[in-house]
Amino acid sequence: MRPVILFPLFADIRTLSGVGPKLEKLIAKVAGPKLADLAFDLPVSVVDRSYRPKLAAAEPGRIATVDVTVLEHFAPRVKSQPYKVRVSDDTAMMDLVFFRSHADYLAGLLPVGARRVLSGRIEKFKDRLQMAHPDYVVAPEDITSFPLQEPIYSLTEGLTARTMAKAVRGAVDKVPPLPEWQDPAFLKQRKWDAFGTALEKAHAPAHDSDLSPTTPARQRLAYDELLANQLALLLIRAKLRGGKGRVTSGTGKLKAAAIAALPFTLTDPQLAALAEIEQDMASEKRMLRLLQGDVGSGKTIVALLAMLKTVEDGLQAALMAPTELLVRQHLASLEPYAAAAGVRLACLTGREKGASRAETLARLAAGEIDILIGTHALFSEDVTFKDLGLAVVDEQHRFGVHQRMQLQSKGKPADVLVMTATPIPRTLALTAYGDMDVSRITGRPPGRKPVETRVMGADRMGDLIAHLRVALDRGARAYWVCPLVEESEKIDLAAAQDRAVMLRQALGLDVGLVHGKLKAAERDAAMEAFKAGQTQLLVATTVIEVGVDVPEATIMVVEHAERFGLAQLHQLRGRVGRGKEKSSCILVWHQPIGQTARARLKTMRETDDGFVIAEEDLRLRGPGEVLGRRQSGLLEFRMADPAIHAEFLDIAHDDARLILRRDPGLKSSRGEALRTLLYLFGRDDAVRCMRAG
């Protein structure tokens, strides 16, 4: 149960005064649905109204607070013209400009002859000072009614800065005094305030420098959030690895048969990763390991050899992939080696229905399937293994903490190996996968040539198509990727379809088209035609980003490359260079292109090291974007930035380990306070793990 002290903070934002259903939707869109979300929504800028010049000395372009007398009103002759009010102090005159305003209202707000204090941006127009729509207009005695320093929060269309600030203030006022969960000596060393005081200071910036993530107040809040994250992951890890695992030693017979059938020699990094995995499997604790390897580094073979070790001990293994396309590709690529080892493979996706699905499930339950490859369909309640020893998950970024726990429950104490071709910076690996041990396969497999990467503007499209025509005439195969962005899916889909038509006409060739709106069977047919060489050019949306394997494809064109993230561009480039032929990747950008996009394209041209690219991606985009908000299973950080607060992440990791070593049940007085911290930052799952033992 969430501690009673936190109940006010987990009320809906509509409980705030003045927040109705319409406003609730807008605020929730920006910050989240609860008061805690609002309290943790820190200012993004500050308006400083402390500049109090005389009008004659006022600097145009600055926000100023001025004390003036109202001289005269000028109502517009036609509706399209503004309403003006002339004011002055003892040094100069200024016009206040109002569009679409009511004369009666302005007459009451600014009566002729009255003194008023105004705050807004002063500009110069035709040698006369003017202020359009002052932010504040008050009588001199009411000047304390508006803030001289005003925090500004993230907004969305229809939500004003003042409304948002009022809502955040209402939420912060609901934060109760909370028990101190940090070590007093650590707080003293850092000179940090209590949580409530730090939160108040973070919401009351006086200058731009107060918005920096390195201010003491923001550091304190960031550390609290990072500690909650690390504690939660370690508690979940303890739950997943708690109790006895099963010792899987294997005979080595099946593994040796598969290795003998490989057309290549395993690399040293592959063998090192396999040794770490096998060491975990042979121990009495459950394995929970993340296998990181760049695109094409040979992770799947390492996973197969680990699964064969499980099968050697009479157990079953499962390999889960995010799409049907990948499942069938894994099935096709692993079948020869499984056959050489005499191992029974099967696949299960949402497409299998009726009698065929029932037969697969019956064989699985009877132990007649050694390795099952499938999509999220493996989570279905009717999927029962006779004895699952190892679960392998491909492409971890679509597979968060909850799913790791769910799949684990399919076997007795099954080992779990999670693979990713998206290299993850060390800081993010710690925040998102701190519950896992990490192995890395570095380098590229023998015989793989680097992919030549070129960047060009869309104004050279004619040159590109001519280059493509020559390559296709020689028998090459190419991808042409068009972006697909959620907000404008229909427009982008049309763009991909139009591009396919244009290329068909320009090249006089049959052009394949693959996108997410196609039925699975149509998509697979288009991919198969490309794989078999029946079509030489495949126009696709990013549906081909993950894991598609056509070694004969040697050209990758990415259109609107400026709209892609670095990790995504790297994944797409990894679709070529998988065979013996030299490959190229052409990144085509369209105007307008910003500085960040230029930096991304420069990085792509300069390196093909996925780990270097991942660190640069983190620097350019920040952690929420790199991991993907909805995909990672990671709660997005509100006040911490793992890239900026990396030092605190390491301290929090060590602190969490020490806390749980001394007080695994969080039963001490500090432990009780830390439970409050976990609930405050929404890590309820971790507390449930602890309660479940």
Second CATH level (architecture) for the domain 452-607: 3-Layer(aba) Sandwich (3.40)
- The proportion of the chain whose per-residue pLDDT surpasses 90, expressed as a percent, equals 58
Confidence class of residue 627 from pLDDT cuts 50, 70 and 90?
A: very low
Q: What is the pLDDT of residue 633?
A: 35
Q: What average pLDDT does range 45-55 have in this prediction?
A: 94
**Is 625 a residue whose pLDDT tops 50?**
no
- The count of other CB atoms within 10 Å of the CB of residue 258 is 22
Q: What is the pLDDT of residue 30?
A: 92
Q: What is the pLDDT of residue 402?
A: 60
Helix %, strand %, coil % of the chain (to 5): 45, 20, 35
What is the SS3 assignment for 234?
helix
* Mean pLDDT score of the chain: 87
Winning range, highest mean pLDDT, from 71-75, 320-324, 627-631: 71-75
C-alpha 15/C-alpha 170 separation (Å) is 10
pLDDT per residue as tens digits for the range 449-485: 789 999 999 999 999 999 999 999 999 999 999 876 4
Q: Any idea which of 45-54, 281-290, 416-425 has the lowest mean pLDDT?
A: 416-425
**Is 549 a residue whose pLDDT tops 60?**
yes
* Cα 489 to Cα 526, 564, 636, distances in angstroms: 21, 15, 25
Q: What is the pLDDT of residue 477?
A: 94
Winning range, highest mean pLDDT, from 359-368, 414-423, 442-451, 612-621: 359-368
**Is 290 a residue whose pLDDT tops 80?**
yes
Q: What is the pLDDT of residue 196?
A: 96
Give Cα 501 distance to the centre of its chain: 34
Winning range, highest mean pLDDT, from 134-138, 247-251, 286-290, 510-514: 134-138
Beta strands in 607-679 (DSSP E): none
C-alpha 533/C-alpha 552 separation (Å) is 8
Q: What is the pLDDT of residue 632?
A: 35
Confidence class of residue 544 from pLDDT cuts 50, 70 and 90?
A: low
**What's the Rg (C-alpha) of the chain?**
31
Q: What is the pLDDT of residue 227?
A: 95
Confidence class of residue 296 from pLDDT cuts 50, 70 and 90?
A: confident
* Domain 59-134 CATH assignment equals 3.40.50.2000: no
pLDDT per residue as tens digits for the range 88-108: 999 999 999 999 888 999 999
**Is 59 a residue whose pLDDT tops 50?**
yes
**Is 259 a residue whose pLDDT tops 70?**
yes
The CATH superfamily assigned to 253-422 is P-loop containing nucleotide triphosphate hydrolases (3.40.50.300)
pLDDT per residue as tens digits for the range 188-244: 999 999 999 999 999 999 999 999 999 999 999 999 999 998 998 888 878 767 666
The CATH 2.40.50.140 portion of the chain extends over 59-134
C-alpha 657/C-alpha 146 separation (Å) is 47
Q: What is the pLDDT of residue 105?
A: 94
C-alpha 659/C-alpha 433 separation (Å) is 19
C-alpha 396/C-alpha 287 separation (Å) is 16
* Cα 691 to Cα 99, 166, 338, 666, 685, distances in angstroms: 61, 39, 42, 10, 10
Tell me the CB-side half-sphere exposure of residue 325, using CA atoms within 13 A.
23
C-alpha 266/C-alpha 298 separation (Å) is 8
Q: What average pLDDT does range 486-503 have in this prediction?
A: 70
Contacts of 302 (CB under 8 A, 6+ apart): 270, 273, 274, 277, 291, 441
What is the SS3 assignment for 141?
helix
Question: What is the identity of the amino acid at 320?
Answer: M
Q: What average pLDDT does range 393-409 have in this prediction?
A: 63
Confidence class of residue 634 from pLDDT cuts 50, 70 and 90?
A: very low
Q: What average pLDDT does range 298-311 have in this prediction?
A: 94
pTM here? Answer: 0.69
Q: What is the pLDDT of residue 135?
A: 92
Winning range, highest mean pLDDT, from 244-258, 391-405, 463-477, 496-510: 463-477
Q: What average pLDDT does range 669-693 have in this prediction?
A: 83
Confidence class of residue 492 from pLDDT cuts 50, 70 and 90?
A: low
What is the SS3 assignment for 609?
coil
CA terminus-to-terminus distance, the chain: 16
The CATH 3.40.50.300 portion of the chain extends over 253-422, 452-607
Contacts of 63 (CB under 8 A, 6+ apart): 47, 48, 49, 51, 119, 120, 121, 122, 135
Q: What average pLDDT does range 420-431 have in this prediction?
A: 71
Q: What is the pLDDT of residue 165?
A: 95
- Phi, psi of 687, rounded to the nearest 5 degrees: -65, -35
Q: Are 574 and 453 in contact (CB under 8 A)?
A: no
